[in-house]
Amino acid sequence: FYEEKGLIASVGRQGLRRLFTPGVLDQLSVIALGRAAGFSLDEIKTVFSPQGQLDIDRQLLSRKADELDRTIKRFKAMSNGLRHAAECPAPNHAECPKFQRLMKAAGAGALKGR
């Protein structure tokens, strides 16, 4: 799959098996790290030179870190809202001002990602 996407390249075949250089293991580790950080395969592809060497755009990393910070902030707000709803002393969630604000934010799309 990664070969089809141009992220790694085989150096030949032995029967039905493709052969790879030892450096492909490092490339696969970088791919796994990128996926864990939320990078798309197209974004990950840009961190490799045509020869398969790392050539990471630091601005790309900074933008992704900013995006992750925004996502964390959004999830933290959602977590706090849910925790409040679970522990709210109001007899009914409809009577809780904080829960009402959370519902309005969700209805306005403020809690969506990207």
Query: What is the number of alpha carbons within 13 Å of residue 8 lying toward its C-beta?
Result: 21
Give the residue with greater pLDDT, 76 vs 98: 76
| Domain segments of the chain as ranges | 12-56, 59-107
More confident residue, 33 or 22: 33
Identify the pLDDT of residue 69. 95
* Number of C-beta neighbours around residue 10 at 10 A: 12
Q: pLDDT band for position 23 (50/70/90)?
A: confident
Q: What pLDDT, on a 0 to 100 scale, did the predictor assign at position 112? A: 62
CB 48 within 8 A of CB 34: no
Tokens of 36: 């864990």
Q: What is the mean pLDDT of residues 16-20?
A: 85
